[in-house]
Structures are given as structure tokens and as C-alpha cells.
Amino acid sequence: MTDAATVDARFASTAHSDAAAPHIDLAALYRDSGIGAVLGELDRDLVGLAPVKTRIREVAAHLLVERARASLGLAGGAPTLHMCFSGNPGTGKTTVALRMAEVLHRLGYIRRNHLVSVTRDDLVGQYIGHTAPKTRDVLKRAMGGVLFIDEAYYLYRPENERDYGQEAIEILLQTMENQRSDLVVILAGYAARMEVFFESNPGFRSRIAHHITFPDYAETELLEIAERMLGTLHYRFDAASRRAFGDYLARRIRQPNFANARSVRNALDRARLRQANRLFADALQGGEPIDAATLTLIDAADVRASRVFDEPQQPSPSPCTARAVPAPPG
């Protein structure tokens, strides 16, 4: 039977060993990396998107811990960093990709805080021998940073036997595997179409470590986005025009081709045009000189002149069909 003195000696030896083992201060590593500032900007600059922000923080925490493990000789190989951002247009995918590139750079996973954003047209050629150099040129520009491929499913067009998208896919897959320590690829697009794309191209699915879904904005969030957009341009709503834009959103959100923040931006551009025409017409009719308050105000009439108010109200779309129609570019 082991006596008390032996037990005490073993305990003391273990405690000494633990005390001598190398330690790392995760809080200090977090502060020194500067990723807290990036995540703070994400929270401050983007309205809503709570689940997206949570996932980005989870990814950042995981990569920070992996960096800590590597510093103590516990690394199990470079983590797979390729991602998929799925969601409808105008939900902030490109903006979040830019922030993700900064996080990866601050943590040392990419050499440059650099994002190259492309679509099918930047990668796929129109004749034999055209695709490979186009794709390799894009990859060369993105190397050391992040390559963001929007509407990635358009790379695959099985209905066209003479399509060259498959050649671009094969080059991308090879590079994603062989250069994964020097390039992060983010695929983006509609959720349903991305799922079909992955089913048709399992090589992509096996290389994607993080799938992040971007929800549509609520009407209240879209209204806040509109006011933020106006503020950056030195415009504003008053109480009446704010109600008018709320009415506009309630109608527009139920129409085809609604693109979240992108549609809000387009609506505000048209409202600003109407405001300018209204002020100019008043001036030509002998109106008084105007002040800054008048020049900055989007009036309710500027909003309600939209064609959206001329069309009959549509019933609310079901969750399964809402905004399933692709939005036009711009």
C-alpha cells in the first residue's frame, strides 16, 4: 500500500511539471492580433445578420486557438479555410468576405489583406484554349489572399456540352488543394443553387470547411439600412418620408427580384433623382433660394412617386418561395 509521503511526492512532481510547461495567454493573443477591431466593425457597420456574425466569431475563435496550438507545437496541419456563403442578393456576402480576409490576414493565415471578387465571366473563356489562362490569371492575382466567386454555380452548365466551365472548375479544385496554405476561396450564391452545384461537383464540397447562410433582412432592418445609406450621402428622411419608405418596403419586398440592401440602394437612388427634379422644377417656377435642410430632405412625395405604389398589393410569399427569382445585376 502506498504511504502518504509517496503520494505527496508524486503530487508535488506533477504540479512542478505543470508549472514548467509552456503556457499561452489567449486574451493577449486576441488583443495583439487586432481581430477584435475587425469583428467590432462587422457588428457596427452591418445591420442584422446575427447568425452570420456569430459564425464569423466562431471561425475567428477557432483559428485563434489553432494559432495558439501551433505556437505550443500542437498543430495538426494547416486548417482548411475555404468557405461557402449562401443567401439571396444584397445580404452582405461580399462585405463579410472582405472582413473575413482581414481576420485571416491578422491571424497570419494569408499573406495579404487582399480579396479578388470574380464571376463566371472572369474565369471561363468562349473558345478552346481561352479558359485555362483566364482562370490561372485570376488565381495568380488572388494568391496570398482571398478569391471570392459570386454565383459560383454558373461555372457548371451541364445543359451545354460545349461549355468550358468544367475546365475552370478542375483548375480551381487543383489549386484549392495544392495551394490551400496560400489561397482561400469563398464561393457564394443562392442557397438552393449552391446545394445543386455541390451535388454535381463533390470535389468542391469536400474542400469547403465553413458553410455560412445569410438570412434575408427584416423590413425594420431594411429601413435602418436605408437611413444609414442616406446618412453617408448627407440625405435624410423626416417622419412622413420615413413612413412612406416603410410602406414602400412592405410592398417591394413581396415583389419578384427583390434584392435586400441592393434594392434599397436602388430605391434611394431613384428617390434622390425625384427630389432633384422636384427642387429644380420649383426653382424654375420662381421658388425661393433653398437651404441645406431642404437639400438634404427626401420628401414623402419623392418616395411615393415610385411605380411600386401603382401596382396592386401581392400576398405575402411563403417561406419556401420567397425571393426565389434571381435579381438583376446592379
The torsion of the CA quartet 225, 226, 232, 234, rounded to 10 degrees, works out to -150
Co-location of 306 and 188 in the same domain: no
Which has the minimum average pLDDT: 15-19, 54-58, 252-256, 308-312? 15-19
β-pairing verdict for 236-237 and 210-214: unpaired
β-pairing verdict for 146-150 and 184-189: parallel
Distance CA 319, CA 166 (A): 33
Q: Report yes or no on 270 lying in a domain.
A: yes
Co-location of 162 and 40 in the same domain: yes
Distance CA 124, CA 166 (A): 9
Cβ atoms of 217 and 261 closer than 8 Å? yes
Q: Is the pLDDT of residue 187 over 50?
A: yes
Chain mean pLDDT for the chain:
87
Co-location of 57 and 173 in the same domain: yes
Q: Report yes or no on 323 lying in a domain.
A: no
Amino acid at 6: T
pLDDT tens digits along 112-122: 999 999 999 99
Local structure of residue 111 (DSSP, 8 states): S
Q: Is the pLDDT of residue 18 over 70?
A: no
Considering 173, 196, 214, which residue would you say is the last residue of a domain? 214
Amino acid at 188: A
Beta strand extents in the chain (DSSP E only): 83-87, 115-118, 146-150, 184-189, 210-214, 236-237, 297-298
Q: Look up the CATH number of the domain holding residue 229.
A: 1.10.8.60
CB atoms within 10 A of CB 139: 21
Co-location of 146 and 176 in the same domain: yes
Considering 214, 249, 272, which residue would you say is the last residue of a domain? 214
Q: Report yes or no on 238 lying in a domain.
A: yes
Residue 322 backbone class (left: φ over 0; alpha: ψ -120 to 50; beta: rest): beta
Range of the structural domain that residue 258 is part of? 219-310
Q: Report yes or no on 318 lying in a domain.
A: no
Co-location of 291 and 150 in the same domain: no
Q: Look up the CATH number of the domain holding residue 158.
A: 3.40.50.300
For cell 443553387, the residue is 193
Q: What is the DSSP string of 154-187?
A: GG--TT-TT--HHHHHHHHHHHHHHTTTT-EEEE
Distance CA 230, CA 236 (A): 6
Instruction: Output the pLDDT for position 319.
Output: 42
Amino acid at 164: Y
**Could you tell me the three cell numbers for 319?**
417561406
Cβ atoms of 125 and 78 closer than 8 Å? no
Q: Report yes or no on 11 lying in a domain.
A: no
pLDDT tens digits along 282-304: 989 887 889 999 999 999 999 99
When divided into structural domains, the chain yields a total of: 2
Q: Report yes or no on 261 lying in a domain.
A: yes
Cβ atoms of 144 and 110 closer than 8 Å? yes
Cβ atoms of 199 and 260 closer than 8 Å? no
Co-location of 224 and 210 in the same domain: no
Q: Report yes or no on 330 lying in a domain.
A: no
Q: Report yes or no on 51 lying in a domain.
A: yes
Distance CA 32, CA 29 (A): 5
Co-location of 152 and 208 in the same domain: yes
As a whole-number percent, the residues of the chain with pLDDT over 70 amount to 88
Co-location of 127 and 30 in the same domain: yes
pLDDT tens digits along 208-258: 999 999 999 999 999 999 999 999 999 999 999 999 999 999 999 999 999
Co-location of 282 and 208 in the same domain: no
Co-location of 174 and 282 in the same domain: no
Co-location of 177 and 226 in the same domain: no
As a whole-number percent, the residues of the chain with pLDDT over 90 amount to 65
Amino acid at 254: R
Q: Is the pLDDT of residue 159 over 80?
A: no
Cβ atoms of 124 and 118 closer than 8 Å? no
Q: Is the pLDDT of residue 108 over 80?
A: yes
Co-location of 102 and 143 in the same domain: yes
pLDDT tens digits along 81-104: 999 999 999 999 999 999 999 999
